[in-house]
Amino acid sequence: MRVWVAWIGLLMAACQTEGRVERLSTAAETAYTLCRAPALAPGVGLRVALDTAAGGMLHLYLLLHNTSRKALTVAPGRANLLTADQRPQEPLQALAGFALGPGQEQEIQLGYQPVNDLYLYQRTGLRGPWQQQYRLPLSFIGELSDTLSFCFEPQAYLAYSLQREQHRPRLYRPSAAIKTREAAARQEVYWQRLLGRADTVALAPAYFTDQDFFNAGVNLRHSLFALNDSLYLSLFITNNAAIMLEIVPHNIWLQTAEGVHAPVKLLGYSYQQQQAQVLLPGDRLRLGLVYTAPAADSVLLRLGGLGLHPLEAPLFWEDFMFVQE
């Protein structure tokens, strides 16, 4: 993916600091500019630059100059960048506040990794492409009340958006047939037979939604999407049942028209569990799996690697069909 890098500089009030922000920002192209020049309070000089970096990062450079006769309080940790829907993005660095004395100047460098698309982030963990505009309230500098607005140059942003569209993730959700009472009833009957229980009172009802498969106290939160030539599956398993579960990641398969695909990479394996590959009551597990398979209209999730321990029986009676949103 092409990385769009940009810098801007603005001198406000009396500030003899030419070249300092330009030295910090080594951009080859101009993408972000100030949408308008803010009206700063007298005695405050500011040069500012915003540029982008790999990995969805944004870098903010500030050169602050106090031209007044009293100290200026600065709290960089409160320099929140706002997205288009006004969600504040905190800086990655936890910089302590300080007082800038009369005639002093100070460079501040802050990094951000904003959540640009909240829906996409909630479904996939991806933060989405850079937005065309960000805002920076200046309330972290003394008593300033103005806000800086950074705008991506329209033609450059159009080219960036077209390029990003070619690598847009494709989201999947469970098919409508899964999210029926009939499907849940089949699962409940399977559990009764498997555990030898004739009544349904001892088992919590099963239900299947766009984000969760719930079965007798076992909750499986899922996310499936395609990106480039791979499929990405995220699972978050919570065992609130009075049973033990066995997890074998390489036996969690995806099936498309091209065939059955085993995971080729384990992205993450974070857990709160007492035994390896076994989830005791109260344990939780989060894992991400990558499959070498291009996007398809539908994908079948086969959870053979998720079963009851030590019965060696699958947790779910059926496979689950996912379709593109």
Q: Highest-confidence range of 185-194, 248-257, 271-280, 306-315, by mean pLDDT?
A: 248-257
Q: How far apart are CA 246 and CA 268, in angstroms?
A: 17
Beta strand 252-256 with 81-82: parallel, antiparallel or unpaired? unpaired
Distance CA 58, CA 113 (A): 6
Residue ranges in the chain assigned as alpha helix (H) = 20-24, 118-124, 154-165, 181-195
> 125-143: per-residue pLDDT in tens?
889 999 999 999 999 998 8
Of 243, 240, 237, residue with least CA distance to 287: 237
pLDDT at 9 (0 to 100) = 30
User: In the chain, what percentage of residues exceed pLDDT 70?
Assistant: 84
The pTM is what?
Answer: 0.74
Q: In Å, what is the CA distance from 19 to each residue of 10, 24, 26, 78, 238?
A: 11, 9, 12, 26, 55
Q: Which runs of consecutive H residues, i.e. helices, occur in 136-180? A: 154-165
Interval 273-285: pLDDT, tens: 555 688 888 888 8
DSSP class per residue in 38-80: --PPTTEEEEEEEEEEGGGEEEEEEEEEE-SSS-EEE-GGG-P
Using CA atoms, how far residue 52 sits from 49, 116, 155, 188, in Å, is: 10, 13, 17, 51
**What would the mean pLDDT of 283-289 be, rounded to a whole number?**
90
Per-residue model confidence (pLDDT) at position 273: 53
